[in-house]
Structure 1
């Protein structure tokens, strides 16, 4: 039997995922399927790239303008 979320029902806790900022290399653990609340991500050339809070804030206009990170 599976749980409603589609995961296993074996009672084990979810394992954190390690995220690394594509700009500065800062890392963080994500305990859920999503990103930490202050992080953003972008899909560039088919690859997902995650950005930490500091890099996201510093490059907000470029992110909103959908510019690839190469232009930052």
Structure 2
């Protein structure tokens, strides 16, 4: 079973292409069209307003 905590291949930032062998706790993960997408800590920080803007109002 493929688990996000133990990936079978390197994790790649969907924005800048940075890679990691294991999922860093500082990275952000979302599911879009049924696929996991990761953002490294730098890209997540740069785009936090955009990320928060996609959350349902129940999260607030």
TM-score, length-scaled by structure 1: 0.59
The 5 Å alignment of 1:44-59 reads 44-59=32-47
Rg: which structure is higher? 1
Residue 40 of structure 1 aligns with which residue? 28
d(CA) in 1 for partners of 2:7, 2:14: 22
Moved over 6 A (4+): none
8 Å CA contact 1:16, 1:29 repeated in 2 = no
Structure 1: give runs of 5+ residues left out of the alignment.
1-13, 68-72
Distance 1:15 1:55, change over 3 A: closer
Distance 1:39 1:15, change over 3 A: closer
Structure 2: give runs of 5+ residues left out of the alignment.
1-5, 56-60
Q: Pick the structure with more helix per residue.
A: 2
Deviation at 1:58, TM superposition (A): 0.3
CA RMSD of aligned residues (A): 2.3
Deviation at 1:65, TM superposition (A): 1.4
Question: Larger relative contact order (C-alpha < 8 A, sep ≥ 6)?
Answer: 2
